[in-house]
Structure 1
C-alpha cells in the first residue's frame, strides 16, 4: 500500500469511492479537544465497468453513485448501465487501480472501504463565486484610499511593461470568474467511520457545497501502511469488511510526544 521506492515493485493502488458532501459538524475527542468534521455519505456506490490493459490500454474501475431516473439519461448512458446490469447512477467516476485491485462489476463499496485513522485525498468542484475583482479573487490590497485616488480604490493597478514587451503577460492576475474549479485537498484525516450508515467523518473542510459529489482516494503522500483487514480493497473484501462505528485515536495535545 506504500509508495514504491526506485528499483522496487510498483505501488499497489486500490479503488476509491464516490461520496456526497452532507455538511459540517464537530465532535470532542477523548482528550476534550474539539474536532471540526465534514460528513461524507457514500450513497449506493458500486462498480459499473472494468477497464483492462488488454482492451483499453490501462487498468481502471469505473464507479457509479447515487440514483437517477431513466428519463434523465440519454440513450447511450442508459445502454451503458443496462449492459453492465447495474442500477442507473447519478455520478460516474473512474479510478486507476493496480491489476490485483480489479473488482467485479456490481461490487458495492461502502464506508468500510476506508478505516478510521488513515489519510485520504478528496477531489471536488469548489463553490462558484461569479465575477470578482482582484481584491477578493487574489487578495490584492488595492490602491490608496486617499490623496487623489478616484473610483479606483479596489483596482489592481498597472498591468503592462511599457513598450518592451508592449503586451500583458499571460496568466496576469486580474478580475474574472472565481471558483467552480476542480481542486484536491490532500492528506485529509479520517476521524470516524460509520459502516452501518455509510458515513465518513473527515477532519477539516473539503471542496464544494453540500449535496455535491466528491472523489475519495487513499492519500498519495500518506498512504496506509498496513491493510485494515484481510482483502482490504483487493479481491472479495465486501464479506470481510467490519461493521459498526470506529473512531480514530488521536494524540493528546497537552502531553509532549516523544521523538
Structure 2
C-alpha cells in the first residue's frame, strides 16, 4: 500500500449524489498527520514515512518517544503508523499530511479494528445451520456437531471452526469511494461502512 492518513471514525450519515439518490457515508475526521520520521534504504534498508495522529500529554509518553518528538520539536502524538513507500523522496520531518491528499471520487482502502462481539457460538460466528429440532435431538440444537476423529489423528486440527471470541480483529475494506472532502474541518465522507465503532482509529490508504 502507498501513503495514507490516520483518522477517527465519527459515525455514519446520509448524503445525496448528483442523481438525487441517497447514499450512506461514513464520516471520518482525518489528520492532520505530521511526518515524525522518514525511513530510507541507506539508513533503514527500506523506504517509509512515520505519521502521527491524535494529541497526548507529554508526561504520558515513554522516554524514547518523548525524545523523538523533542528532537524534531514536534507536538506529541498518541498514535504512530508507518507507511511503506517505493521512495520517500519529497517527504520531510514536520510536513503535514492532510485530507486534501484525496479527491472526490477516488478509491481508497480503509483499515480498522472490527467491533467486538464477545464469545459467540458457531451459528453466529460461522453461520452453521445447527442440528435438527426434532427426532430426539436434545440440548444440541445450536451446537456444531462432531469436532474430531476418534483414534487417528486423535486431535483437533488448528483452524477448526468452533465457538470463540468474535470480532475485535483487523479488517481492511477495499475500494471504497470518497464522496466528499472537507479540508477546512479535516473531514472525509467515505461511501458505505468502515470497520470499527464510533471514535475508533481507522487508516485510509491511497490507491497506487
TM-based fold match above 0.5: yes
CA RMSD of aligned residues (A): 1.4
Unaligned stretches of 5+ residues in structure 1: 1-12, 224-259
Give the aligned length.
208
1:121 alignment partner in structure 2: 109
Deviation (angstroms), 1:101: 4.3
* CA distance in structure 2 between the aligned counterparts of 1:84 and 1:209, rounded to whole angstroms: 33
How far 1:14 sits from its partner (Å)?
4.8
> Shift of residue 117 of structure 1?
0.8
Q: 2:98 aligns with which of 101, 110, 130?
A: 110
* Number of the residue aligned with 1:94: 82
CA contact (8 A) 1:15 1:95 kept: yes
| Structure 1 residue 67, shift from structure 2 partner | 0.3
User: How much has 1:15 moved relative to structure 2?
Assistant: 1.9
Runs of 4 or more consecutive aligned structure 1 residues displaced over 4 Å after TM superposition: none
Within-5 A mapping of 1:15-54: 15-54=3-42
Hey, which of these two has a bigger chunk of strand by percent?
Answer: 2
What is residue 206 of structure 2 aligned with on the other side? 218
Verify the 8 A CA contact 2:49 2:88 in the aligned structure 1. Answer: no
Which residue of 2 is the match for residue 182 of structure 1? Answer: 170
The 8 Å contact of residues 45 and 65 in structure 1, kept in 2 or not, is answered as: yes
Q: 2:44, 2:169 → 1: CA distance?
A: 28
Q: Return 5+ residue gaps in structure 2 as ranges.
A: none
Give the deviation of 1:147 after TM superposition: 2.0
- Matching residue of 1:194: 182
Where 2:77 maps in the other structure, the secondary structure is coil
Cα distance in 2, alignment partners of residues 106 and 19 from structure 1: 18
SS at match of 1:80: helix
